[in-house]
Structure 1
Amino acid sequence: MWLLLAFTSALLLGLYDVAKKQALRDNAVLPVLLLNTLFSSLLFLPTILSTAGGWGWFDATPLRCPAGDLHAHLLVVLKSCIVLSSWVFGYFGIKHLPLTIVGPINATRPVMTLVGAMLIFGERLNGYQWVGVVLAIGSLFLLSRSSRREGVDFRHDVWIYCIAAAAVLGAASGLYDKFITRRLDPVFVQSWYTFYQFWMMSAAVLLIWWPRRRRTTPFHWSWAIPFISLFLSAADLCYLYALSDSEAMISVVSMIRRGSVVVSFGFGALLFRERNLRAKAIDLALILVGMVFLWIGSR
């Protein structure tokens, strides 16, 4: 079951990247991110209110949100900080880079998660799973070479560094998720971490963007913004439920979720008319083959 949830999360993450790219076209990053956290919070607000008011609206559903003590909330606040930091870097990167470059880079994020999982949780991969990881590393090397045709130099492009920082923080978030889901209910984590993120982003927008709004990229409304929240919330919920399974391996779940590159790559080619697709398709093929090896090794 955890594998099915992981693949569902991957599909939704691909749609999330597409919505993000569309919403950020000629748009201010921080207000878009603020609205993302706002809509995500509103999606889960009824579960929080149901518990706080003792009404039990969702008691007989998978969306039931149990109460938590101060320690539980502090754990969720830390998750909010890690994820939000990753998002800020990732949003700036995806705004300025082609989706067909960002997707494959993000798809290699589980390699870092793998190293952490081996060191922290003692996870071990079998031969098939190692093949999948090696193919993912190879795809990143090929992508760095093919991207030069579009003027993107991995060594000197600041937006590449933003995506890299987002990937490192995302890997740290994945490892922390493995830790936190063993202790807290997935719906509790999802509901409250979006709530805390909204208030963090509100402070960031008021202190950083609002005073400089007339000197930076202006904000305009896009109907893609609420879909960012919808796709991301559903993807994260599937992900957290997958990790709550005692048999789930964070290294495998993280790698499967990066299969979202298939969706983002397709939309990058069809919707955004991005270039140099033939060379990037080789990188994508390596990732897909890696997904197959991971699937075989996890059965």
Structure 2
Amino acid sequence: MGKLYGALFVLSLIWGTSFLFIKILLENLAPSAVVFGRCLFGAAALALIIFFQKREFLVKGAPWRKLLLVGFLNNALPWYFISVSETQISSSLASVINASTPIWTLIIGTVLFSARLKGRQWIGILIGFAGIIILSDIRPGDFVSGNLFGIGFMSAAAACYGAGAHLTKKYLVDLPIIHISFYTLLAATMISFVAMLATAPDSLPQLVQSENLLPLLGLGSFGSGIAYLFYFYLVKEGSAELASLVTYIVPGTALIWGAVLLDESIHLSMIFGLLVIFSGVYISTGKKTGKKGKPAAA
């Protein structure tokens, strides 16, 4: 579990800046263009890694249809939903709603994938979500007063992540992690390119403008390419439920980045919220993961 917890924390550090990068890019790009740029830069980063590691790009007998399905459900579709939602709601509210991913993962696993769950798993998830509310200082009234359109799209993105993680665990566990990451992002790149041409064709030249390159590098190459190596490692070696817990830690690492890079203050309530989140993660993952190829009953 030590390596899995380490990967979980590193992934949360990388993804701690994602909502900020999306918000910045939406100032100049349409949501579909943000998704295409994110997928393109991510796939390019993984292609370079495969090239320098002298791996084969083509996997003989690879489940291409399943890779396409996971690329659609785990990348292209939720990233489009997130981008659309952030045109309507704040990045902080988006990150809180995104933290419902573990709950969606448990529900989808129970209903569609016959995942075995225990009471402590549900308790840990709910404790962690309570910690998110404390950490972000989001009150119940904020959900009511917020744009329902944006909240709905963000919730749909969280549900897509849950479904994508379970599909990966069920169908792609025998593939190398680098190939799962690259080919699902490649599939998402093709899907999002068609979507961008259909909805915002004028955005293509804007992708190479200087003010967009740095955010795309952070969001795509690091936040999508390299980050997905850690994400699929968590899914493959741990479980879909474990990987989804990264969304609980991301708001905390976002606070860390804010303190380090923007000199933002950290209040006592934030520290308490982080402790609640970590306790929830520990409770829900305290038991060892299940056998390889099956979701763990933490």
- Give TM-score scaled by structure 1 length: 0.76
Q: Which has the higher contact order (CA 8 A, sep 6+)?
A: 1
Describe the shift of the 1:148–1:130 C-alpha distance in structure 2 as closer, same or farther (beyond 3 A): closer
Which of 149, 152, 165 is equivalent to 1:158? 149
Match runs of 1:62-211 below 5 Å: 67-69=59-61, 72-82=63-73, 83-119=75-111, 120-125=113-118, 127=120, 129-138=121-130, 146=139, 148=141, 153=144, 157-210=148-201
For residues 172-191 of structure 1, give each alpha carbon's deviation from its aligned partner in whole angstroms, at most 9, with x where no partner exists. 11111211332322211111
Provide the secondary structure at the position in 2 that maps to 1:10. Answer: helix
Describe the shift of the 1:135–1:77 C-alpha distance in structure 2 as closer, same or farther (beyond 3 A): same
In structure 2, the residue matched to 1:216 is none
Gap runs ≥5 in structure 2: 290-298
Looking at structure 1, the residues matched to 275 and 91 of structure 2 have their Cα atoms a distance apart, in angstroms, of 16
Looking at structure 1, the residues matched to 4 and 157 of structure 2 have their Cα atoms a distance apart, in angstroms, of 25
- Give TM-score scaled by structure 2 length: 0.76
| Residue 115 (structure 1) shift | 2.4
1:207 is aligned with what amino acid? A
For residues 203-235 of structure 1, give each alpha carbon's deviation from its aligned partner in whole angstroms, at most 9, with x where no partner exists. 11112112799xxxxx98422111101222222
For residues 231-262 of structure 1, give each alpha carbon's deviation from its aligned partner in whole angstroms, at most 9, with x where no partner exists. 222221112122222xx232123124431121
2:126 is aligned with what amino acid? V
8 Å Cα contact 1:47/1:191 also seen in 2 = no
Which of 228, 236, 241 is equivalent to 2:228? 236
Gap runs ≥5 in structure 1: 51-56, 214-218
Describe the shift of the 1:32–1:212 C-alpha distance in structure 2 as closer, same or farther (beyond 3 A): closer
For residues 37-67 of structure 1, give each alpha carbon's deviation from its aligned partner in whole angstroms, at most 9, with x where no partner exists. 221121122466x5xxxxxx525xxx76561
In structure 1, the residue matched to 2:294 is none
Describe the shift of the 1:8–1:86 C-alpha distance in structure 2 as closer, same or farther (beyond 3 A): same
8 Å Cα contact 1:65/1:187 also seen in 2 = no
8 Å Cα contact 2:70/2:184 also seen in 1 = yes
Describe the shift of the 1:99–1:280 C-alpha distance in structure 2 as closer, same or farther (beyond 3 A): farther
